[in-house]
Every structure is written in C-alpha cells, then in structure tokens.
A and B are shown apart, each in its own frame.
Chain A
Amino acid sequence: MSGTPTTRDFKANASRAIANTQLTGNLKAVRQNFIDKRAKAVHALPEFEALRESGKEIKNHTLAHLDLYLEAYEKKVVETGGHVHFAADAAEARAIALDICRKVGAKTVTKGKSMITEEVGLNAYLEANGVIPVETDLGEYIIQLRGEAPSHIIAPAVHLNKNQIEGDFRRVHTHLDPGRDLTEKTSLLTEARGVLRESFLAADVGITGANFLIAETGTSVIVTNEGNGDLTQILPRVHIVFASIEKVVPTLEDASQILRLLARSATGQEMSVYTTFSTGPRRPGDPDGPEEYHVVILDNGRSAMLGGEFQDMLRCIRCAACMNHCPVYHQIGGHAYGWIYPGPMGAVLTPSLIGVDEAGHLPNASTFCGRCESVCPMKIPLPKMMRHWREREFERHLNPAVARHGLGFWAFFAKRPRLYALGARIAMKGMALLGRGKGSFKSLPGLSAWTKYRDFAVPEGETFQAKWARARKG
C-alpha cells in the first residue's frame, strides 16, 4: 500500500511520532532486538570484513553488466518453464500481476513479505479489482489488519506492541471465542497461523518477493523466519515473484556469499530459518510446486541511477542494519519518513524513486553520524549520497531560503579572513557582554531554534586568534 507519499510533511510526521509515547516506547525494541545481536554475529565471524568487501565487489560487477545478467536470468527462467515480465514502473507491475490473476480466475492471493509490492501499491490495486490479497508474514498480516504501511523493511510491525496486536486480533477475528487467552506472544502467533492456514489452502495465486535472482540458474531466493513464504509459493497453482532489477546476481556462489552477510546484518542470525530457492514451475514428477511461475522485474527509476552518483545504492540487500543503528530512526520510527523506505537507506533511495522535490527532507534529516555506513554489509556510503542529494537541492534552490541566506552570510565572512576576524571579535565581545555573569544563555535572539531545547554557552569573549596574537607578542 504505497499510497500518496507524505515525505513533504516529514517534520510534522516526526513531531507527531515524538509526541506519541506509546510509539516511542515500542521503538525501543529496534535497539534491543537488533544491535547487540548483530554485533555478536559479526564478531563471531572473523572473515566478516572480507565478506563485506567481496559482497560489494559482486554487486558492483553485476551493476556494471546489469543488462547482460538480466538477459541471462530471463533466458534461464524461460528455459525452466517460467515467465519473466519487465515492468518499467509501478502501474505496469500492478497491471501485469492483475492480468495473471485474472487469467487464472484468482479470487484470493496469499503474499509473502515483499517490499516491491509495497512500493507499487499492489494490495490496494488488487483489492480494487476484486482480488483479495492476504499477507502471510506475521508483521505484514498485522499491519494489513490495521490498514498501515510497514514501518521497517524487515520488521514491518516493529512500531506496535503486543497489546495493540491483541486488540487488532480481537477486533478482526470475531469468529473466535472472545474469552480466549491471548496474553502470551506465542498465543498470538498460533492464532495468526490458524487463521492464515485457511488462506494458504484457498489461495489461487501466491506472491512473494525475492532477495536474489540468480542469473546462472534462473532461480529466485527468499529468506524468511516463519515459513510462510514457502506455503505462499508452493500451495497455490500460480507463483508470482516480485523483484527489482538490482536483485540479480551472477551465480549461486555469489548468492551464497551475500547470504552470509544478510541475516547477520539484519537479525544477527547466521542464517534465516528458511532460505528457499525456486526455479521454474513444477516439473513432471515433482511432489509439489506451482503450475505457473512468473517473475515481475520492476525498474521504477532504478535504471536511471546506474552510472550516476547514486548507483552504489543499488547494492542494498535490504537488511535494515542502517535503520536499526540510526539515532534519527530510533526517535521517530519508519512512518515519519512518509514513504515505503525509511531510515538512511530510504533517505537515499526515496528521492531517487519519487523525486527529491517530493522527498527533500529525508537526506537532510541526518546528523551524518556515519553509523549506518559503518554497519552496512554492502559498504554503501550512505552519508555521502545523502550529501549528494543536498547538493542537488542546493543547486536547484529547493532548500529553505532562511538556510540559504544564513549560509551565504556566514560564507561571505568565512571567505574573507580579515573581515571574519574583525567580525568575530566584535560579535564575541558583544555576546560575552550580553551574557556577562551567566554561563549560558537560556534564550538568544536569532538562535531560538537552538535555545528552544538547550542552553547556549556564553563565549569567553575574546577570539582565539586575537588572544594568541596578543599572548605571543608578549
């Protein structure tokens, strides 16, 4: 459910999130659940750094020859009896999926976790056209019940707590005994399982995402922890894989290398519970599998990133380590970012996909602390690319006039050392006079954006350069 982006309202979104104490309490789980586990898993693997380098090389190589690998992949899928559909944008991708569903007379569709279907707004579209999508990943199922978008790319319901989920289950699962006990987390899981089991059996089409598309074999790969992805793609007659162009890797060996980085970076597991490789439809003699196997490969602005400042972003394997370690994400959660991809990876990717005019706040709302880049398994220089977006905004005068003028005023002096020294001497003397007897200003004209939240230290009064010159002259 991509819906209309609210990226322009980032500040208001963030403000609302910060005021929501239930949300900020729930968000503590991001830090508790991911950071230490990742650190432990990384620490336990001496070659982790070498793997990062190798993963980066694999992706760089693939991106440099992306057209060739996509063609090779398509050829293999067709050889194994499957179909590949290239979609230039979200509308095309949706139409392709609906068309497949209609051809087989599908009434319900089960879905494994897929950010690409979120990106193209597939659920709302299918629903509007008479096909009922049922999310089967627990987190996705919960937010579907609530009519929400995911707030995190691997833990879509991380913004919710157990009581909220219990409330949703009681509201929606009215066919179950109202007196049932749902106090344990496991009882929620069991209930979801029971409800979903019927959907798995009834579905005509199963839609999954893909963590990798392997050119060598025409295979798609998903990693899950719940097993729902397997039931989604094995039980229905038709399996549709939704992926984007940068998910392709040359070989099985390449996918295996990156898999060693993925779960460790994401959840701190060595491997996810399920890693499922799918190649083509069911062959004669196979015990199970779909009769039809389709892959929808989405571009939606990505090919325009090739060869430019943002190409490195296409190395992203969607592990979410960047947002798990982001001090800004920790405070505001994913919804505040206003579109599907939150956190540092979203701050770079979202402007590429929906335009920097729309998503200009995102690359600005970062302290550039660099923690995201330091944990990125693909070594994506996220702060550097956010800065590139800021450059584009600056060139096009998209940033606020106040900021531009402030910067211009400061730059005027900074480029003229003598004038700067004089101006600084006068200004600091003035500020010290204004703050005489005080250590800090509680409020300061022109600096209210600072003093609204914190005090400002009164300067010592003399500039270092002036004092040094005086002291050294004796």
Chain B
Amino acid sequence: MAAPIETPGAQTRPTVKSNPRVALFATCLVDTIRPTIGFAAAKLLEDAGCRVEVPRQTCCGQPAFNSGDRATTRALALQMIADFEGYDYIVVPSGSCGGMIKAHYPELFADDPNLAARAGRLAAKTFELVSFLTDVLGVTSVSARFEGDVTYHDSCSGLRELGIRNQPRRLLGTVEGLRLVEMKDADVCCGFGGTFAVKYGEISDKIVTEKAGNIEQTGAATLLAGDLGCLLNMAGKLSRRGAAVEVRHVAEVLAGMTDTPPIGKASPQARSRATAGSKEDPA
C-alpha cells in the first residue's frame, strides 16, 4: 500500500536528494529485544521515499562510553564509522544512541584530526528517526490509525541532546483515532540511565515509580516514547505495579504496526498456548 505521506514544499530544511540511501541502525536493544521497532522504522522511512538498508551492526558504544571505558568506545565508534559512513543518512530509532553518534563521536577523536573529521561527517548525517522524518524529510503526517488515549514520555537524550520534543507530538497528532494526553513532568528522567538502573537500582526504582504514577494518572491506555531503554524501564515498572497501561515505541504507532503485543505483554494466543502446554506438561 502506497502511503500518502505529505511533504511540504519550501521550508527551511536541508535539501534532500530523492530516494536517499539510508542505513538503519536499529540499536542493540531493538536488535535483540524488540525487532518490531526496526521494521516500523524501516516502514516509515520507505513510506517517505528512502531506500533502507541494514548494515551489519552491534552497538554504538554508549554503555562503554558512560562507564568510562574510552578504548572500547573508540573501537566500537570506529566500527560504526567504517560500516555506516558510505550511506546518505544514518537513522536511529533512539535519541540516546542517535545522540551518542551525533553529539559524542566527534569528541572521542579530538586527538586525531583524520578520525575526528570522519566522525564529524558521520555525526552530521546521523539522525534520530522521528526528527529525521520531520526535520530532514519534511514529513508532516502519517497514514496510521490507533484508537485511544496515549501519553508521551520525552526521553532525556533525545530531548536535551537533540532537541526532540514537538516532532513526535506533531506526527502523533495526525494518527487517526489517537488522542494525546500529556502527563505531569513528561520531560523528567524515567530513572533508566543505562547501567544506572542496575548499579543504583534503589534510586532508579524511586524515580521510575514516580514516573509510573504520572503515567497512570493521565488515564491513557498507552505510553509511548522514542527510546527502548526507557520503555523497558517504564514498562517493567508498570507491569510490576499491575498497571494496565500498554507500552510501545512511538514508531510502532506512527507506522501503524501495532499487531505485535505491547512491550512486556504476551499475545493472547501465546498465553493460551502456554496454558494449554502447561496442562500437558506440568514440569
């Protein structure tokens, strides 16, 4: 189905050649835990006229970077640069991994002008998914349907390193049937912080407990955000609290790919299969 995505005419955005060759960097979390987000990202990009490829990939290096391990960070950054620099754009369905490449790669190679330049060029053409659609491609609406109230959490890196705030809200506003209900302190950290969530679990728990309370208070049936790390944290807490809120990556809703069960929820079929299985095999 050809999606009728509108692109506005003259606007102050970079000129984009038609059918740009885009490398999708899914991120290690999406790759391992929730591939649906990768497919949703690819669909949104293809609907907007991009040729999408998925080069071999592991991790952008952020866990090492934030743990103070410069050598590993540099090694992973070099791997990324080598594998991704040949594309027109690099698009990431995560503000935090996108921010890592865009804001931090160049500073990693401050001592090597050659590598710094390569890192700088990669950074310049790397974008977080939703802001790429709106700010670079000029997408102003999507052709998706999603019934019900949703609330949107601003993930920290996307918000403060990349300035992503209105872009996802604007596109969500064009999803048929969807109503956005803002939560209190949407722009306050969910307490994930990568390894922080396990190194300082007790503090992280208090922060995400408040976040979960703010989410529940909106009465929205669905929580959306643009970063799987934060989503896993919030979904995990909501599930532990027994909250009915369903959690998804914003790309899934924008792409109309919501057949996969929400994060942390089993599909009804899988659940009944498992129940049936356990009857046959009590072990």
Contact = CB atoms under 8 A, between A and B. Distances in A.
A367 B64 contact: no
Nearest to A465: B31
A364 interface: yes
B192 A367 contact: yes
Contacts of B263: 457
Contact of A439 (B69, B156, B160, B265): B265
B36 interface: yes
Contacts of A424: 28, 31-32
A366 interface: yes
B68 A387 contact: yes
Interface in A443-462: 447, 449-450, 452-460, 462
Contact of A327 (B188, B233, B240, B271): B188
Contacts of B214: none
Interface in A35-50: none
A411 B32 contact: no
A366 B197 CA distance: 10
A440 B263 CA distance: 8
Interface residues of A, number: 69
A364 to B, nearest CB: 7
A283 interface: no
Given A456-B236, A464-B38, A371 B195 contact: no
Interface in A9-42: 11, 14-15, 18, 24
A368 B275 contact: no
Nearest to A391: B68
B205 A403 contact: no
A252 interface: no
A471 B52 CA distance: 13
A47 B239 CA distance: 45
B191 interface: yes
B187 to A, nearest CB: 8
A393 interface: yes
Interface stretch (A145-153, A235-243, A414-422): A414-422
Interface string B256-276: 000011111110001101110
A436 B236 contact: no
Interface in A355-372: 364-371
A306 B66 CA distance: 24
Given A374-B160, A428-B33, A460-B34, A392 B68 contact: yes
B201 A450 contact: yes
Nearest to A363: B68
Interface string B220-243: 000000000000110111011000
Nearest to B196: A367
B138 interface: no
B245 interface: no
A86 interface: no
A417 B79 contact: yes
Nearest to A374: B160
A6 interface: no
A332 B207 CA distance: 10
Interface in B125-180: 156-157, 160-161
A437 interface: yes
Given A328-B207, A332-B203, A369-B156, A457 B56 contact: no
B212 to A, nearest CB: 9
Contacts of A411: 64, 69, 72, 75-76
Contacts of B188: 327, 369, 371
A327 B38 contact: no
B16 to A, nearest CB: 24
Given A369-B156, A371-B189, A454-B233, A407 B72 contact: yes
Nearest to B161: A370
B241 to A, nearest CB: 9
A438 B192 CA distance: 23
Given A415-B72, A460-B34, A450 B198 contact: yes
Nearest to B38: A464
A302 interface: no
Given A367-B191, A463-B35, A464-B30, A331 B203 contact: yes
A468 interface: yes
Contacts of A410: 59, 63
Chain B CB within 10 Å — which of A370, A459, A467, A468 has the most? Answer: A468
A184 interface: no
Contacts of A231: none
Contact of A367 (B26, B34, B193, B202): B193
Contact of A459 (B32, B75, B240): B32
Given A411-B64, A428-B33, A467-B35, 9 more contacts: A14-B202, A367-B191, A371-B156, A394-B70, A410-B59, A411-B75, A411-B76, A453-B201, A464-B54
23 contacts: A14-B200, A18-B202, A365-B196, A365-B203, A368-B194, A369-B156, A371-B160, A387-B68, A394-B67, A414-B59, A417-B79, A424-B32, A436-B277, A437-B271, A440-B264, A454-B233, A454-B236, A459-B32, A460-B35, A460-B260, A464-B32, A465-B54, A468-B42
Q: List the 9 shortest-distance A-B pairs measured between CB atoms, nearest first.
A: A437-B274, A367-B193, A454-B236, A390-B68, A394-B68, A369-B189, A464-B35, A449-B198, A453-B205
